[in-house]
Amino acid sequence: MKKKKLATVSLAGCFGCHMSLLDIDERILDLVELVEFDRSPINDIKKFTTRCDIGLIEGACCNEANVHTLIDFRKNCDILVGVGQCAIMGGLPVMRNAIMHSDDPLRECLDEAYLNSKYVYNPSNEIPNDPALPLLLDKVYTCPQVVKIDYQIPGCPPSGDMLWRALTALITGTHFQTSYEYELIKYD
Amino acid sequence: MNKSVVFKIDGVEVTATPGQTIMEAADEAGIYIPRLCDVEGLDPQGSCRLCTVKVNGRSVSSCTQPVVDGSEVENNTLEIQCYRRDLVRMLFHEGNHLCPICEASGNCELQAMGYRLGISKATKFPYLQPVRPVDASHPDILLDTNRCIHCGRCIRASASVDGKHVFGYIGRGIHRRVGVNAENLAKTDALLEDKAIASETCPVGCIIQKRNGFCTPVGKREFDHEPIGSSIENS
Ligand code: SF4
Ligand code: SF4
Ligand code: SF4
Ligand code: FES
């Protein structure tokens, strides 16, 4: 069987989902028999070198760069999979949207993070605004709000077993997400 | 005269006593019908519609509908499971459900229903991300309405079991939420011992007992190993 091409990325995520991918342990040797990693933090390839069969997205979109990256993934991948709660429904990053009960959640979030919190040491009293920093979005957007996502693997993070099962199903073309064992799907 | 009612659920013959609801009869027969607003010990409210079944082709909520002799009930069909999936999805979308940081995670009936119905596909609904209040005023109890699914179980428990009427609905439609009968929870006569506050009353992580969170390790929580409804199916 020709090796499938796999790309992965972390947008606004904690890399926990990528860590979980490493949690498939020695099966990673089987995985590299089945797939070739293209753009991914696993091999540090930063741009697509070819069209990919599968793209795994960790994290939500909290800044402009995340949106561009996600659109790039949609363009270059046949199947796009949202991995983890951040990608699917915003997860922890999305807390800045509504949970703060503010009319201007982004402003309040930045003020809290850089100015007001009693644990902050920031002598310049400025919120970072270097032009090199990607522009923050007004709110955090889930991946399906930005591009079409074909499949989702819930969990924070999904377990290594879950990722292994989902990946092998996608690679071998068996129907994805029919009847997993009960304990594999978790939302936390 | 002890007449019993005989009817069928998905082709399986069930014998019930007259006046029983379809759900009660199904429970006794070891057939689980998914539910969220209904819980043992409280009068049914019939509002979540998760327990919808078809009786002779017509949709009814099984927690409120009495059994009818000779009827054919459809429960576990693809069509009905799809409706239920959509209902559960909409509940996730209507509130702010962040399971990774929720104290109810693992013991939550909404989440467990998501697992049972196999909800893991990309969603077709928008996340509404409403701004909803959190009331942490009470020394022992926290009310986080971000997770409220408006099952009314706390309202019924407080009214009919505790006789206190602490909880009630405020507002209408999409803005409806659960509120308390005072300025805040601390100013009510709610107590930790109340039925309305008991962990089995609120199906989600909306009514939280303080200093009690995350005390059960992952793997030992209520729905970690067996789907919701298993206790009925295995009885
Ligand atoms: S889903 Fe959880 S583990 Fe994955 S990126 Fe988000 S916070 Fe990290
Ligand atoms: S209440 Fe249930 S579904 Fe909502 S966040 Fe908590 S665990 Fe998840
Ligand atoms: S607070 Fe809990 S018990 Fe009360 S209506 Fe909301 S979800 Fe139901
Ligand atoms: S359980 Fe019957 S309508 Fe909610």
Question: Phi then psi for B225, rounded to 5 degrees?
Answer: -115, -25
Is residue B188 a contact partner of residue B137, using CB atoms and an 8 Å limit?
no
Name the residue among B123, B129, B146 with its Cβ closest to that of A144: B123
Q: Is residue B222 over pLDDT 70?
A: yes
Ligand 1 pocket, residues with Cβ under 6 angstroms: A 13-14, 16-17, 58-59, 84-86, 91-92, 156-157; B 100
Token pair listed for A124: 């310049």
ipTM of the complex: 0.89
Best mutation site among B27, B39, B40, B51 for ligand 4 pocket (most ligand atoms within 8 Å of CB):
B51
pLDDT of residue A177: 59
Q: Of B174, B176, B84, B178, which is closest to residue B128 (Cα–Cα)? A: B174
Q: Choose between B1 and A102: higher pLDDT.
A: A102
CA distance B17 to B19: 6
Task: List pLDDT tens digits, range B105-121.
Answer: 999 999 999 999 988 77
The pLDDT confidence band at residue A178, using thresholds 50, 70 and 90, is: low
Task: List pLDDT tens digits, range A11-34.
Answer: 999 999 999 999 999 999 999 999
Task: List pLDDT tens digits, range A127-165.
Answer: 999 999 999 999 999 999 999 999 899 999 999 999 999
